[in-house]
């Protein structure tokens, strides 16, 4: 019997596949995905080992002790947040709850690929606005002019990945005021390195959503856990579009333990900010153009030989991310520890001098 070929939805058929270059990274200095290269809190690992039993794995996750701890840490109500399977799911459930087929969604470029991904999966009409060409600064005035009465969602990373540039609170407030009919997501994946947050304003702006992740400063990318925040009315709608068990038990316990270890968080941020200074000073010393960053990475202008430099660094055991497909000649380098940063500079300097000849 001949079966007819199954056809995906038109929105899926139109999409390009997304394949992150995530294979073969073990054992190398991973300065390519903006992870915490110093690792998670030892208390997180100890807690996972403590609760990891055969019996515990048979029970569906319960969040009754986790949510109050997270709400207290983030200074929000328990009805103003939901745990998600990484920031990716936060974006997905926001789109699912507030965006329909052919709705107008605005994103900036270059930025996190999952904004476009989930908007296109939903069948939205995605419009893009570039960061300012020469400085890669946030295009505030341009965005305000881009917003339409029919715009249903605006997705913003602050600080932005891969540029490292950020928008101040006053600018975000202007966007929220200009688009009262749109769900405005401020993705604060790198908040800890810049200190700009919109969390205190959830109840001042009915269209405001904020996301946080445990994949960066907390060093828990493998566990896939994050949070989405908004006012309680919006979160009631979000809960309807959210799987009740999408965050696994170990990830939930790890998140609770991570926010309780405030000294680890403070020390990690201090080390990364110091290492960022080491990196930018080293780049200036050898004359490498870069974009001033408010995140835990720096975007370098390498030029036409960007991929060649990445390949040579990889051969030396150091991974960085070539972003030339979005910004020609640019390479993004994660800021690790000061020691790791010096290792990168020592290896990179002769490569840079060679391509300058």
- Report domain extents, the chain: 10-38+263-356, 42-260
Q: How confident is the model at residue 357 (pLDDT cuts 50, 70, 90)?
A: confident
| Topology, domain 42-260 | 3.40.640
Q: What pLDDT was estimated at residue 21? A: 62
User: What does the alpha-carbon distance between residue 106 and residue 197 come to, in Å, rounded to a whole number?
Assistant: 21
For the cut 80, the answer to whether the pLDDT of residue 25 exceeds it is no
Q: How confident is the model at residue 57 (pLDDT cuts 50, 70, 90)?
A: very high
CATH number of the 10-38+263-356 domain? 3.90.1150.10
Q: pLDDT: is 246 or 5 the higher one?
A: 246
Enter the pTM of the model.
0.94
pLDDT digits (tens, 9 = 90+) for 182-223: 999 999 999 999 999 999 999 999 999 999 999 999 999 999
Measure Cα distances from 302 to 32, 94, 130 in Å.
15, 37, 20
For the cut 90, the answer to whether the pLDDT of residue 55 exceeds it is yes
Element (H, E) at 346: helix 338-356
User: What does the alpha-carbon distance between residue 350 and residue 182 come to, in Å, rounded to a whole number?
Assistant: 49
Q: How confident is the model at residue 9 (pLDDT cuts 50, 70, 90)?
A: confident
First CA to last CA distance, the chain: 66
For the cut 90, the answer to whether the pLDDT of residue 163 exceeds it is yes
| Mean pLDDT, all residues of the chain | 95
User: What does the alpha-carbon distance between residue 210 and residue 199 come to, in Å, rounded to a whole number?
Assistant: 7
Q: How confident is the model at residue 238 (pLDDT cuts 50, 70, 90)?
A: very high
Measure Cα distances from 225 to 22, 113, 156, 189, 315 in Å.
18, 18, 19, 12, 32
Q: How confident is the model at residue 22 (pLDDT cuts 50, 70, 90)?
A: low
Give the strand pairing for 29-30 and 318-319: parallel
Q: What pLDDT was estimated at residue 23? A: 63
> What is residue 181's DSSP assignment?
T
Average pLDDT over residues 284-292: 97
């Amino acid at each position: 019997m001949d079966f007819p070929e199954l056809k995906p939805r038109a929105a899926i058929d139109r999409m390009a596949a997304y394949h992150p270059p995530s294979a073969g990274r073990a054992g190398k200095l991973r300065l390519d995905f903006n992870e915490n290269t110093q690792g998670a809190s030892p208390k997180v690992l100890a807690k996972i080992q403590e609760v990891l039993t055969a019996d515990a794995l048979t029970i569906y996750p319960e969040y009754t002790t986790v949510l109050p701890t997270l709400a207290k840490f983030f200074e929000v109500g328990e009805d103003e947040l939901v745990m998600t399977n990484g920031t990716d799911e936060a974006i997905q459930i926001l789109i699912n709850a507030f965006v329909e087929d052919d709705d107008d969604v605005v994103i900036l470029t270059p930025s996190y690929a999952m904004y476009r991904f989930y908007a296109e999966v939903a069948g939205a009409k995605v419009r893009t606005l570039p960061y300012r060409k020469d400085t890669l600064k946030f295009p505030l005035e341009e965005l305000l002019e881009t917003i339409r009465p029919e715009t249903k969602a605006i997705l913003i990373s602050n600080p932005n990945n891969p540029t490292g540039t950020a928008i101040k609170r006053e600018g975000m407030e202007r966007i929220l005021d200009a688009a009262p009919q749109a769900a405005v997501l401020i993705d604060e994946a790198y908040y800890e390195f810049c200190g700009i947050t919109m969390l205190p304003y959830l109840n001042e702006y009915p269209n405001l959503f904020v996301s946080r992740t445990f994949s960066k400063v907390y060093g828990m990318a493998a566990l896939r856990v994050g949070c989405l925040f908004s006012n309680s009315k919006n979160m009631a709608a979000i809960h309807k579009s959210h799987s009740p068990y999408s965050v696994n038990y170990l990830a939930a316990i790890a998140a609770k333990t991570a926010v309780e270890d405030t000294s680890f968080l403070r020390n990690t941020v201090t080390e990364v900010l110091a290492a960022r200074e080491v990196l930018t000073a080293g780049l200036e010393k050898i004359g490498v153009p870069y974009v001033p960053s408010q995140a835990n990475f720096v975007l370098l202008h390498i030029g036409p030989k960007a991929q060649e430099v990445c390949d040579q660094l990889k051969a030396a055991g150091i991974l960085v991310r070539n972003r030339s497909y979005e910004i020609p000649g640019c390479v993004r380098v994660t800021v690790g520890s000061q020691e790791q940063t010096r290792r990168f500079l020592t290896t990179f300097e002769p490569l840079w001098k060679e391509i300058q000849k």
